Structure 1
């Protein structure tokens, strides 16, 4: 079977990389901290249950999060790490504080699994497919370690190694896009006026695009891994074929019915309401 025809049995299925709150102990609502801001209505330290978390580990205001000032919750995804920690690492038992320490590490690993899985579906990245598969297998194995092994992991070093490989896949893919590519990796583009900009194949890895005006911009084939799109205006923009765009990134942005999206993400519901 050709490598690009699908995942083999050793690779995580797409559903494994989406949060399943019904199979989790509400880990994101306990383990992670947040501060009172435009995204959160109150402060919450790490390891302390959110005041809206119910006894059955569900959110008491899930359908009202935006109205109640909890926008940050609506643009968060654990990429399936919650159920992995709950059901695999701790075998369906509430591990308390140890579980809360393990969860952020596994969340980072699951984000890498998502990127690696996407990179393996890029035909032009075939020269590094073998390395990508090895990295995927290694990353998945790390998520299945004991709580002690996961807690001791130097996740930063592992992310750096994977990031270099993902960049190779990105370069190979973007090289096929005609025209000169803009290199704006890590650039401060907060509030930038980029209406109608030609950003095809651009390197926007880690760029700060907060509140940037990208109305009608052509972002086809751009690399958006780690880009901050909070309140970025994507109305009528073309994002088809963008690389490494996640649903939380898109949910944090603003768009409309004319925004063209890749098949890997869904159109945020709040866009219909003009939000």
Structure 2
């Protein structure tokens, strides 16, 4: 993963542990409101159970990725001002953080698109959108809070769709073509072991608890795909497109799982 678009907890004020709400579920053991510090957040902004999050039921924390927004908000936008020292600033910071997180996720996809040789004819358009998005992340808090994130996402999505169609065309005979011409399949709990899914458009697809062992997922598009508890043991995700660390963290796998070089193998997968 690009280092500037990867969470750096040592340079963040624990923003995801405070600003984001969650409900008791398979991902969290209890309810927490937005702005309420997690009960395991220490005064130095570190997590007291970081090494045992999965065992204690915090699967949502294990799979979360802020794409570097935490340190951007903490160190740059708020110039290292700790939210604990100013309650009024804290409320604003907790509202700014999720907006910057969304922008950083867009930057992650755009940066990956820029690196693709197949998308070289779109490079100028992609770079322009990248530069515009980056500029939005360094505005003052008042301006960030006024941003129309959905409108900006709608500017970026069409070019990412173009990139995906071009990139997946190598395996087009196995794909279903354009993102706009098909309904998303529901693969929750599906048995897809040993299936050839090269070049598939899996954007927004539910793959929760799907069995994808030894499946071929090369050059599949994973934007928005839900991989929670999906079994990727032995699966080939080489050259997977728009796959995030968070998605892989939420899945299961083993040493035989082939991952793209920008994704790290989760520690809970074992060696």
Q: TM-score, normalised by structure 2?
A: 0.93
Matched, 1:114 2:104: no
Give unmatched runs, 5+ long, in structure 1. 1-12
Pairwise CA distance, 1:14: 2.4
Aligned residue in 1 for 2:173: 179
Aligned residue in 1 for 2:190: 192
Cα deviation digits, residues 210-264 of structure 1 (max 9, x gap): 0111111110111011100001111111100110000110011111111111101
Aligned residue in 2 for 1:6: none
Checking the alignment, whether the CA contact within 8 Å between 2:187 and 2:208 is kept in structure 1 is: yes
Report the 3-state secondary structure (helix = DSSP H, G, I; strand = E; otherwise coil) of the residue aligned with 2:72.
helix
Give the paired residue count: 261
Matched, 1:129 2:123: yes
Give unmatched runs, 5+ long, in structure 2. 83-88
Pairwise CA distance, 1:268: 1.0
Pairwise CA distance, 1:176: 2.4
2:234 maps to which of 233, 236, 241: 236
Pairwise CA distance, 1:271: 1.0
Aligned residue in 2 for 1:255: 253
Cα deviation digits, residues 72-97 of structure 1 (max 9, x gap): 11111111000101111111113311
Partner Cα separation in structure 2 for residue 101 and residue 209 of structure 1: 30
1:148 maps to which of 119, 142, 149: 142
Partner Cα separation in structure 1 for residue 209 and residue 132 of structure 2: 37
Partner Cα separation in structure 2 for residue 146 and residue 26 of structure 1: 20
Out of 14-23 and 134-143, give the one that drifted further: 14-23
Cα deviation digits, residues 58-84 of structure 1 (max 9, x gap): 111111111111111111111100010
Partner Cα separation in structure 2 for residue 270 and residue 145 of structure 1: 38
Aligned residue in 1 for 2:42: 54
Pairwise CA distance, 1:22: 1.3
Report the 3-state secondary structure (helix = DSSP H, G, I; strand = E; otherwise coil) of the residue aligned with 1:243.
coil
C-alpha RMSD of the superposition: 1.4
Checking the alignment, whether the CA contact within 8 Å between 2:174 and 2:197 is kept in structure 1 is: no
Regions of 4+ moved over 3 Å:
182-186
Q: TM-score, normalised by structure 1?
A: 0.92
Q: How does 1:71-86 map to 2 (within 5 A)?
A: 71-86=59-74
Checking the alignment, whether the CA contact within 8 Å between 2:213 and 2:231 is kept in structure 1 is: yes
